[in-house]
Amino acid sequence: MDVAGTVDVLVNSAGITEGIVPVDELEPDRWDQVIGVNLTGSYLMARAVIPGMLQAGKGVIINLASIAGVGSFGGPAYSASKHGIIGLTKSISATYDEDGIRCVAICPGRIPTNIGTENPKVSPRGQRRIDHQRVRPAAGSPEQVADVALFLASDAASYVNGCEILVDGGLIAR
């Protein structure tokens, strides 16, 4: 049964973090939970909508990764899950591009959301990393990320496929 029906655009944006803790302080259950929500959740949603997109001959999947997925700071499970989302994005793109399905990852920088409120644990090592990143640029807004997603979902982005789009105010360049 096709539970997704016809979906033109999927935005995988669910995400959680373990806080900013080193590997030796991260409990395996929390690792599994972060990987499950962030990476497995994106896979399951894509898996649910791709059959309808194949039938329609078109579709766009936008995965929210993070600058943590391209080499910036983040907790170990969060970073690993966001690296995985970038890999998943490239795999989907390479597999389904000839079927009219595009897949792109957005990698936001510091955006004020509630992602850290469910587990705000920050180790002293993690706090040093956070303090270093807060210097510049200023945090962006959720609307700035949404604007990029709207562009990627549009026909104006028809040649954008299989890549990561940084929306970080230049943070990763510093």
CATH number of 9-173: 3.40.50.720
SS3 content of the chain, % helix, strand, coil (to 5): 50, 15, 35
Q: Coil, strand or helix: which one is 152?
A: helix
pLDDT in tens, 27-59: 999 999 999 999 999 999 999 999 999 999 999
Confidence of residue 115 (pLDDT cuts 50, 70, 90): low
Mean pLDDT over each residue of the chain, to the nearest integer: 87
The predicted model scores a pTM of 0.87
- CB 71 within 8 Å of CB 110: no
CB 61 within 8 A of CB 108: no
pLDDT of residue 126: 59
Residues 79-113: pLDDT tens digits? 999 999 999 999 999 999 999 999 999 999 887 77
Q: Is 96 a residue of the active site?
A: no
Q: Does residue 130 register a pLDDT over 80? A: no
pLDDT at 165: 97
Catalytic residue among 43, 78, 96, 159: 78
